[in-house]
Amino acid sequence: MDVLILGGGPAGLATARGYREAGGHGRVTLVAGEGHVPYNRPPLTKDFLRGESARGDLPMVPAGWFAERGVELVHGTASDLDPDRRRVSLADGRELGYDACVLATGSTPMRPPVPGAEDLGLHVMRTIEDSEALRSAAGREGARVVVIGSGFIGCEAAASLAVRGAQVTVLAEDDVPQASRLGPEAGERIAGWLTQAGAELRPGTPVARIERTPGGFRVHVESGGPADAEVVLLATGVRPNGELAGPAGLDRTASGRIGADVHLRTLADGLLVAGDLAAARNAAVHRSLAVEHWGEALNQGEVAGRTLAGDDSASWATAPGFWSTIGDHTLKHVAWGDGFDDARFRAYEAGAFSVHYGLDGVCVGVLTHDRDEDYERGRELVESGAALP
């Protein structure tokens, strides 16, 4: 069997690894859109951005991994998918055939829908080159930086640049960072961490437009004075790379993701999906979930690979989780991610805390800081559908 994997991120690599570890002996080709071996992205807003690690620290596997496992690594971008002919065309004109194909194409940073946001002089964060460009432009003492967005990418990058001595201002639409996702108490802690790192947080300031100035950029907000900066980072979310789905006739959700079953199979014969692009059914909660976590891309990729190898027991059943480090503070989160109606915050000594999230009295998530025991126990509660503690 010829297995074709589109995407050189965690989901794509985990698919190849899962396939081989489950005994798959077919020919495997992995198409990576960047000119690198698959690498870890989480450090790009943390130690790599701060200059504490180098490119050589980022690869997910050693250089010889692909040859040792009989996986051909191809650098290129898929431009067309024909599921009837089972062929994929690359942007450079090459054409690859397959018996089974896994779409693991990841996401692309979104730009806010405001005038001036299309300026290519504004920074985004996704690749090694993005992180290096931001570090070069803003990673110096006194550099004036505006970060638009208070999600995890924005908060992590803002804290890292502030620690390096930049004058960082974070413009956030919400009154409290991440309040809708994590609750107001946790959001207030994140706001405090940004201030502690040396960043200025301006909450409740939706951006109206961005304009060029002789010294860089001026960011106008809907209320209050503008923010001037030499460097602007857009950290306003991502969109899944589902461009191949339309021409291939695959149905997508309103968010642009492709539906899949618990084995990561789509409705198209021979096509699977994993990672940011997937709206897969989770076997533990019997409903589809959309997840953008690094760890879950690894989990889904492994399931897709084992499915391809004929392991019918392989299914996606874990509760999605992630870690985030903002300055010196690490958050650990596990949750189904599709809503809660109760958030129970508990504070402990030395700034530690945990939050348990409930929906209709059932524990559907947990967030912790310096409370590993609550995190481990919380995962058990979430995955077992236990009552909210």
Residues 206-240 have pLDDT tens digits of: 999 999 999 999 999 998 999 999 999 999 999 99
Q: Give domain status of residue 77, yes or no.
A: yes
Average pLDDT over residues 170-194: 95
Determine the Cα–Cα distance for residues 239 and 13; give it in Å rounded to an integer: 21
pLDDT tens figures, 359-377: 999 999 999 999 999 999 9
Give the pLDDT score at 33: 92
Sheet order of strands, 342-347 included: 321-326, 329-335, 362-369, 353-359, 342-347
State the total domains in the chain.
3
Helices (H), 330-388: 372-384
Per-residue pLDDT band for 8 (boundaries 50, 70, 90) equals very high
Residue 62's CB: how many other CB atoms inside 10 A? Answer: 9
Report in angstroms the alpha-carbon separations of 315 from 2, 25, 103.
Answer: 22, 20, 17
Task: Phi first, then psi: give them for residue 200, nearest 5 degrees.
Answer: -100, 125
Q: Give domain status of residue 328, yes or no.
A: no
Q: Is the pLDDT of residue 140 over 90?
A: no
Same domain, 246 and 297: yes
Same domain, 16 and 86: yes
Give the pLDDT score at 249: 75
Give the pLDDT score at 254: 79
Determine the Cα–Cα distance for residues 286 and 300; give it in Å rounded to an integer: 16
Same domain, 78 and 158: no
Task: Phi first, then psi: give them for residue 10, nearest 5 degrees.
Answer: -65, -40
pLDDT tens figures, 265-292: 999 999 999 999 999 999 999 999 999 9
Token pair of 227, please?
């923010």
Q: Is the pLDDT of residue 11 over 80?
A: yes
- Residue 347's SS3 state is strand
Same domain, 15 and 101: yes
Same domain, 152 and 222: yes
Q: Give domain status of residue 29, yes or no.
A: yes
User: pTM for the full model?
Assistant: 0.95
Q: Give domain status of residue 362, yes or no.
A: yes
Taking all residues of the chain, what is their mean pLDDT, rounded to a whole number?
A: 96
Token pair of 134, please?
């931001």
Q: Is the pLDDT of residue 35 over 80?
A: yes
Q: Is the pLDDT of residue 52 over 80?
A: yes
Q: Give domain status of residue 166, yes or no.
A: yes
**Domain limits for position 141:** 128-234
Give the pLDDT score at 356: 98
